[in-house]
Structure 1
Amino acid sequence: MTLIRTELNLVMIALTFLTRIPSPILINFSQSSLNQASRYFPLIGFLVGIITAGIYWVFAKFLPSDIAIVISMIMSLLLTGGFHEDGLADTCDGLGGGFERSHKLSIMKDSRIGTYGALAVWSVLTLKFLLLSHMQEVVIALLVAHPLSRTVSTMMIPLLPYVQDAEQSKSKPLAESQNHLDWVIALLIGSLSLLMVSHLAVALVVVLSILMVIARAFLLRQIGGFTGDTLGGLQQVAEIIIYLVIIAGSTSI
């Protein structure tokens, strides 16, 4: 029972960290527990995917598919509080507007959104809408993309050093090293989403692995590691790429 309570506590920490959904139980929070809770980030992705896919499925019954997609996207933003989109905006503002590493990190800490960030969020939301609008099985796409994209950002944590000011970081506890068990559990949970598109599993793994290699090299060159914002930005990019692969690789999805 102690093990079950411990793991349930980690799930609830992951839930409240990545979404606006309140925990139904009292959480025993610590920095190390949030670091361990990263093993369940893909699981929270499944939850977001199930809710958004369910919203789409319900509204698509009596509304045009395009409108149902927009409602589903709005629900995703409400569920997460735009957590990952905010990270994307801060990342683009910092990397686009800064010249030196310290300047880039300083811009990322600024709560105001700049031109680069606004354009990035607009572009990503527009791309999501267009890509989902060209899919016959939007439900499957959402159920795959949400957990798998969060798996990609979670996998990046042990591959890069943490570089932001710990006092102002959204993912400060994640700066500590993940153990192998956290990494493996996250990978296994996220990989379950591939079962829904098994014919595209190899393509998705290859393309997302290439994305991680490129992202790692790019972030090392730009700021010397990762921040919470860059993880959010990576999740958004991975989600877009997953939709692209699904469209390119299958006429039935």
Structure 2
Amino acid sequence: MNKSLEAAAAAFQFLSRFPVRYEIPFTPEVQQRSVVYYPLVGAAIGAVVCAVGWALGYVLPSLPLAVLLLIVWTALTGGLHLDGLMDSADALLSHRSRDRMLEIMKDSRVGAMGVIACVLVLMLKAALIASLYEVAEGAWKAWTLMLVLAPIWSRWVMVYAMFRWETARGSEGLASLFRGLSGRRVFQSFVLAFVLTCAGAVFVLASVEENAVRFTIGLGVLLLPLAAYIAGVMVGSRINRRLGGLTGDTYGALNELVETLLLLWMVFMLSLT
């Protein structure tokens, strides 16, 4: 297996439950090469969710459909990022010392703050997904492109976070695999995310007849990378101030929160039409 294919396989194995049946060495070198393909994993997850939504959007009401899509979404990730969100919430919302917060994140048990954070995020995601189907009316297929784009850019934000902020535990923990990540990898990941976004936008916008709707969707998509960057910096900086760096759990939390904020961004753009 060549290095590019190995890196892509490693990304899918690490971030998803897609059946990739290759023995990939779990080393810092391979994992750092794999981050280039994180947006591709997000696109694959989003494409499956979007396809299910398109198939069932004609027969199910918006709210049950949104919950079903969240179940598919979570199953495809194995709940990896939600687990990070819960552990991070337990720690960061405990108002303890930095060392104590890091200990809390290592605990496999989930506390009250973690459960509350997970439930609220899932509820908000369900409401936002339902809004895309409910309000968009005839153009809902185009608007639900966000179900592909949000996981693309939330995963790119994780890559950027690995580059920008130090690891809270130094050379220990999962995050240490990505210490010293080069800016070149981040840029390559950004280019892939941008290409995937352009391809999806061209495909969907071609199906929209109304110029006003096409313009609003196009503007929303055009500003999406900036929205992802701003959301990632705001959330990541806050976590970094509290912990003096990021951890594997906070990468997952960052993904979930940015994903949710990007869905909120598109619903906001939808309200402008």
Shared fold (TM-score, shorter chain, > 0.5)? yes
Distance 2:23 2:88 in 1: 33
Partner SS state of residue 22, structure 1: coil
User: Where does residue 143 of structure 1 map in the other structure?
Assistant: 148
Equivalent residue in structure 2 for 1:190, among 193, 196, 206: 193
CA displacement at 1:150 relative to structure 2 = 1.0
User: Where does residue 44 of structure 2 map in the other structure?
Assistant: 47
Distance 2:74 2:233 in 1: 28
CA displacement at 1:243 relative to structure 2 = 1.1
Where do residues 1-253 of structure 1 align in structure 2 (5 Å cutoff)?
5-135=2-132, 136=136, 137=140, 139-164=144-169, 166-167=171-172, 169-174=173-178, 176-195=179-198, 196=201, 197-251=217-271
Is the contact made by 2:149 and 2:197 (CA closer than 8 Å) also made in structure 1?
yes
CA displacement at 1:223 relative to structure 2 = 0.5
Q: Percent identity?
A: 27
Question: How has the CA–CA distance of structure 1 residues 201 and 57 changed in structure 2, closer, same or farther, with 3 Å as cutoff?
Answer: closer
**Structure 1 outlier segments of 4+, above 6 Å:** none
Is the contact made by 1:96 and 1:116 (CA closer than 8 Å) also made in structure 2?
yes
Say which is worse superposed, 51-60 or 34-43, in terms of deviation. Answer: 51-60
Is the contact made by 1:164 and 1:227 (CA closer than 8 Å) also made in structure 2?
yes
Distance 2:58 2:269 in 1: 27
CA displacement at 1:162 relative to structure 2 = 0.6
CA displacement at 1:66 relative to structure 2 = 2.3
Say which is worse superposed, 185-194 or 102-111, in terms of deviation. Answer: 185-194
Equivalent residue pairs, number: 248
CA displacement at 1:165 relative to structure 2 = 6.6
Distance 1:178 1:97 in 2: 30
Distance 1:47 1:205 in 2: 18
Is the contact made by 2:62 and 2:131 (CA closer than 8 Å) also made in structure 1?
no
Partner SS state of residue 97, structure 1: coil
Give unmatched runs, 5+ long, in structure 2. 202-216
Is the contact made by 2:90 and 2:111 (CA closer than 8 Å) also made in structure 1?
yes
User: Where does residue 205 of structure 2 map in the other structure?
Assistant: none
Distance 2:43 2:10 in 1: 15
Is the contact made by 1:203 and 1:245 (CA closer than 8 Å) also made in structure 2?
no
Partner SS state of residue 134, structure 1: helix
Distance 2:60 2:118 in 1: 26
Question: How has the CA–CA distance of structure 1 residues 139 and 210 changed in structure 2, closer, same or farther, with 3 Å as cutoff?
Answer: closer
Question: How has the CA–CA distance of structure 1 residues 144 and 107 changed in structure 2, closer, same or farther, with 3 Å as cutoff?
Answer: same
Is the contact made by 2:49 and 2:73 (CA closer than 8 Å) also made in structure 1?
yes
Distance 1:15 1:143 in 2: 16
Partner SS state of residue 59, structure 2: coil
CA displacement at 1:159 relative to structure 2 = 0.5
